Structure 1
């Protein structure tokens, strides 16, 4: 009779070895999952290099031009250039980019060039300029005056180089079809899967710089509304900045902010402690979650199974109760199409969804969410039905 010997000198019954074998199998499976995530995140043939920032002198009918102001704690490749590395700068660096989005593109999608950018088919930089702080704030103030005072600031997530974050913001601005002055706050991510710990350190390093940026915007008389949108690990940076503002008595700045955290990679207990300091904000802090976010599930496993805020289940009564106490609105966006195999980038479609809402005249379109709690974002095909549905009695009657 053939026998498979797992351990040559194994003594005892199967029951004695079942638990350790299952643990070993679990670790092997998790290791394979982590490897798969790493491959998915890093094996991007389309990950753009800094050469994509070189301006292309071309005009294409139907292309959309988006201006992005950038404030970054990344170091410049060389003095005076507008290429930025993953190293940490000793001061905030500033620049502005005019980006062309090709005609006929799909919402949420970035058409990366394989070689030289072609504005008729791919994204392309058509103009750029390095700025000092005074020039940056002056231009931004003039831009805000032309957009009725609305400014939007985007904080990118883990494993992102400067170019990826820049064009992602341009894509969202183009999809939203909103008149707003757009700012990228780019912190020094290593842009590698193995740089997770280094990225978390870079987030903490950049906290005070983001606080200074928000305070400067709040002082500008031409700025009446500040939309602060953060993704993934950028959410940790953002909430740390909110906490810093409260601890330093800058309540006036906090009252000007509408904050949205998309798939925030924050330990749930850490978030609870942060919000205990921040306290209720003038407008509820909005958190976009997806329980099937595989990237956050891996992050949770690396963190000893501590839940990540971006993967919380809005159907959990504890989540709804905590949301009401902290004046936070958790919104499940799992019904949106996924843009990546990890289900981590659904947030990029939210801008186009709001554009659709305005076109259909939905009562909720363009209105800030002023109710804390747990919600579900429901989408049916290309139309939106009851975009914010309160989990509980309202959901039961839906």
Structure 2
């Protein structure tokens, strides 16, 4: 794969981190591991390296030091051997010679010395702050550890759900299963994750330890937590799904053989997609198979252009995943919830979707806050009558959609200024739902209980708008949340 071109700004930050790592006394005093930096350097799309690194850095010391580097980037001077280190960063690692062994080499450390000059006043600050910042953490909590937020709870007061996922994210090296925001080599990885919802959960909320690093696992009695993640070959994945449905007792309740697929939107990491899928399953009291397709979003606010390119690339992989789900699992019906930019991939697939006799029919399609050009959405809408019901949730207060409209200079389907009205489409204006927990007005589909209760009647009971409480018909032909 061709290496992305890096900016001078990115090169300075990368070399400065490597130089700091070479003189750091221990791993906990590093901003990010050198091997992780190498991986991000080689895989991050152009102009996204800083955003990608920022999302991966955990721990108060590391985060503060990284931000100090960003502020002082103009004071970082590249030396005569900077081209040599840059070439090593971009080169493929020779077989049998790992990055970790190479960076411990004395010649490599000497090359770093000659490659980058960090301001003298910054280096002493780095050394003195190591003790002050880490001592503030104390022995009871290690910010860099994803599993250290809390000790194992004495009593289990949470419920665990199995999420049958497919992803076209690149699996990253490490001892545990980890997917970041980089694209795979056009392959889909299948697996099953166990995700818990605490009994203190409030409908429509996503309980996470927001004040701590995103990598923090959390306390399952208080937070939504991914407990395990098992990768599977496709045949084993099919078998596992069939066994799960069998254990659910499908003979007693036909709805237990239905499937619900969640396709996330922009700025969503892999674990966050699993959290949302589990939350949907829990709050909708969905008795069947919970599915999730996680496309390779960078999972950073600054990754919008890269996510736009990736979601189009992911459409083919979503089609393959959806084909396997509808043709191999023997489900009686499939419902799909897509959010934000994820609607682009889904609508691209549905535009040419043909239901084959004997396969699972797609019944309810929920398009939440679709970041899709309105005119293009109307073209997609020509096939809406082939599905049982297509529901559009839109809002006048969706700031992310408003920003997208400004960037693209054309209206978006997720905007309710005014609501989009089409045949074979049930449009619901949810502007009265108010702002969400992120303050961006864009995650109302999963954060506002009024919207969620309407969604409950759509997915669980397949009710048409005139059968649902809490919404009323407006003169413009759309429905409005009351």
Could you say whether these structures have the same fold, taking a TM-score greater than 0.5 normalized by the shorter chain as the test? yes
Distance 1:338 1:45, change over 3 A: farther
Secondary structure at the aligned position of 2:351 is classed as helix
- Tell me which residue corresponds to 1:85: 180
- Tell me which residue corresponds to 1:61: 156
Q: Distance in 1 between matches of 2:346 and 2:193?
A: 23
Which of the numbers 365, 376, 379 marks the counterpart of 1:259?
A: 365
- Tell me which residue corresponds to 1:208: 316
| 1:53 to partner: Cα distance | 12
Secondary structure at the aligned position of 1:99 is classed as strand
Instruction: Give per-residue Cα distances to partners, 1:264-283, cap 9 Å, x unaligned.
Output: 0000011112223x352231
| 1:52 to partner: Cα distance | 6.3
* 1:129 counterpart = 2:230: yes
* 1:328 counterpart = 2:429: no
Q: Map residues 1-398 of structure 1 onto 2, 5 A cutoff.
A: 51=146, 60-78=155-173, 81-90=176-185, 91-113=187-209, 114=212, 115=216, 117-145=218-246, 146=248, 148-220=256-328, 222-246=330-354, 255-276=361-382, 278-304=383-409, 306-313=410-417, 319-320=420-421, 323-324=422-423, 327-339=424-436, 340-349=438-447, 366-370=460-464, 386-392=469-475
Secondary structure at the aligned position of 1:138 is classed as helix
Secondary structure at the aligned position of 1:208 is classed as helix
Distance 1:154 1:53, change over 3 A: farther
Q: Which moved more, 1:222-231 or 1:334-343?
A: 334-343
Q: Distance in 1 between matches of 2:449 and 2:236?
A: 29
- Tell me which residue corresponds to 1:381: none
| 1:186 to partner: Cα distance | 0.3
Distance 1:116 1:234, change over 3 A: closer
Instruction: Give per-residue Cα distances to partners, 1:7-47, cap 9 Å, x unaligned.
Output: xxxxxxxxxxxxxxxxxxxxxxxxxxxxxxx9xxx8x999x
| 1:194 to partner: Cα distance | 2.6
Residues 118 and 124 in structure 1, CA contact (< 8 A), matched pair in contact too: yes
Secondary structure at the aligned position of 1:297 is classed as helix
Q: Distance in 1 between matches of 2:450 and 2:286?
A: 10
Distance 1:392 1:243, change over 3 A: same
Structure 2 residues without counterparts, runs of 5 or longer? 1-50, 60-142, 251-255
| 1:81 to partner: Cα distance | 4.6
Structure 1 residues without counterparts, runs of 5 or longer? 1-37, 378-384
| 1:62 to partner: Cα distance | 2.7
Q: Distance in 2 between matches of 1:356 and 1:287?
A: 12
Superposition TM-score, scaled by structure 1 size? 0.72
Residues 82 and 95 in structure 1, CA contact (< 8 A), matched pair in contact too: no
| 1:168 to partner: Cα distance | 1.6
Residues 331 and 360 in structure 2, CA contact (< 8 A), matched pair in contact too: no
Across the aligned residues of Structure 1 and Structure 2, the Cα RMSD in angstroms comes to 3.7
Residues 196 and 220 in structure 2, CA contact (< 8 A), matched pair in contact too: yes
Number of aligned residue pairs: 329
Residues 159 and 190 in structure 1, CA contact (< 8 A), matched pair in contact too: yes
Q: Which has the higher contact order (CA 8 A, sep 6+)?
A: 1
Secondary structure at the aligned position of 2:353 is classed as helix
| 1:353 to partner: Cα distance | 6.0
- Tell me which residue corresponds to 2:133: none
Q: Distance in 2 between matches of 1:205 and 1:51?
A: 31
